[in-house]
Amino acid sequence: MYDLFFQKFREKVPLSVEEEQQIKSYLTPKKLRKRQYLLQEGDICKTLAFVEKGALREYSVDNGSEHIIQFAVEGWTISDLFSFLTGEPAIYNIDALEDSELILITRTAHEELLQTQPKYETYNRVLITSAYVALQRRLTASISLSIEERYTNFTTMYPDIAQRVPQHMIASYLGLTPETLSRARKKMTTRK
């Protein structure tokens, strides 16, 4: 139930059995079925969600169109971080693309772990740092690369996600209409 969570944790910070037990007592195991929401816009994001199994996406909606800001598959963490940390209403929706098994960490559990378990703090520092780097990369890609480069970049960096989610969602993630992405992919195939 917690296997991948602690495997990923240990890759960042080694843990003793006792430390693992202590951290485990704060975690909430939760199953989510395909198309169910973990979070809807306007609600307060109460948890960080680690994906033990399955796939989720986080997106905003304006004028009926969805803008995907993140996918999360096994080993990833997903949340509306601003809402989680401030208690302000979330501006994102998070739902399951597949039946999923999650490990949730509530705000209270997160705060208590930060105070009582230095290794959890280190784990979080590493997690947030990597997420920040990934975000910088994503920003650079979306403002400076061509459409084809953006697509190739995405499928090279995240081949597992590219194979599991439908093309129109990848288009949304890359800031493109499905038609634009489809044309670009066609062009890439003919060039080969």
Are 46 and 32 spatial neighbours (Cβ–Cβ below 8 Å)?
A: no
CB atoms within 10 A of CB 185: 17
| Contacting residue, 10, 37, 67, 133, with another protein by CB under 8 A | 37
Local structure of residue 159 (DSSP, 8 states) = H
Give the binding range for another protein (CB under 8 A) out of 9-17, 20-28, 80-88, 148-156: 20-28
Give the burial class of 107: count Cβ atoms within 10 A of its Cβ; 0-12 exposed, 13-18 middle, 19 or more buried.
middle
88 binds another protein (CB under 8 A): no
- How many residues are listed for the chain in this entry? 192
| Contacting residue, 4, 12, 26, 185, with another protein by CB under 8 A | 26
Give the binding range for another protein (CB under 8 A) out of 38-46, 76-84, 144-152, 183-191: 38-46
Residue 32: phi and psi, rounded to 5, are -135, 135
Among 147, 144, 141, 138, which Cα is nearest to 185's?
A: 147
29 binds another protein (CB under 8 A): yes
Site for another protein, residues 107 to 126, rule: CB under 8 A: 108-109
Give the binding range for another protein (CB under 8 A) out of 34-42, 52-60, 66-74, 123-131: 34-42
Q: Which residues of the chain form contacts with another protein (CB under 8 A)? A: 1, 24-33, 36-43, 104, 106, 108-109
